[in-house]
Amino acid sequence: QSALTQPPSASGSPGQSVTISCTGTSSDVGGNNYVSWYQQHPGKAPKLMISEVSKRPSGVPDRFSGSKSGNTASLTVSGLQPEDEADYYCSSYAGSSGVVFGGGTKLTVL
Amino acid sequence: EVQLVESGGGLVQPGGSLRLSCVASGFTFSSYSMSWVRQAPGKGLEWVANIKQDGSEKYYVDSVKGRFTISRDNAKNSLYLQLNALRAEDTAVYYCARGLGYGYVSWGQGTLVTVSS
């Protein structure tokens, strides 16, 4: 049940694209397609942005996209907007070992 | 509208106990697995436990095994987390979330547990 590895920070200017990585193992990220991404603003509950690697829940802008290659998943935010500034967490379902989250990435919109 | 409302948090001394509750509305509670996720102050998210729809299967993160117990009462649309033998490192906001962890669409607002003497 080791945490997934994310970069602590990422940044980009309005209108640019930024990609956040999430690295796990063959027991979690690489072993199934249940990778999710969450956005969290200060003092708020997390919000699901991507589920099952690349599916966007209703209401999430199509500027947010997800992908996976091997043991690494990625979240790409295109056309950065000021309201995208937040913490982002990846997670992976790991069967009887439960769910493992990444350490989080603070996204700054310059 | 799906709503999850947690309660039961507070200040407790090391070694003490608390029982957290989460009342669900806006969906058929008995049809969904449920989870608890926590977040220590200034830290990231950590999955704590989940429970299947009928309560037959329960899973825990290693750090709480033997100390925390997840349960549910489908007749009351309620999810619970019994916290025993609390430690300072259990201090966190505890969220209930709908689902097993494939992607938590619905979250509560959280309840703060502070373990301190």
pLDDT category of residue B30 using cuts at 50, 70 and 90: very high
Query: In this predicted structure, what is the pLDDT of residue A97?
Result: 84
Q: Do A45 and B110 touch (CB under 8 A)?
A: yes
Of B46, B89, B5, residue with least CA distance to A100:
B46
| Residue A96 near chain B (CB below 8 Å) | yes
Structure tokens at A89: 């967490």
Residues A2-53: tens digit of each pLDDT? 899 999 999 999 999 999 999 999 999 999 999 999 999 999 999 999 999 9
Report which of A108, A99, A103 is spatially closest to residue A36, judged by C-alpha positions.
A99
CB A92 within 8 A of CB A35: yes
Q: Rounded to 5 degrees, what angle do the CA atoms B22, A49, A81 make? A: 125
Average pLDDT over residues A89-96: 91
Report the residue from A1, A48, A103 with minimal CB separation from B105. Answer: A48
Provide the shortest C-alpha distance from residue A14 to chain B (in Å): 26
Assess whether pLDDT exceeds 90 at residue B106: yes
What pLDDT score does B110 carry? 97
The DSSP symbol for B52 reads: -
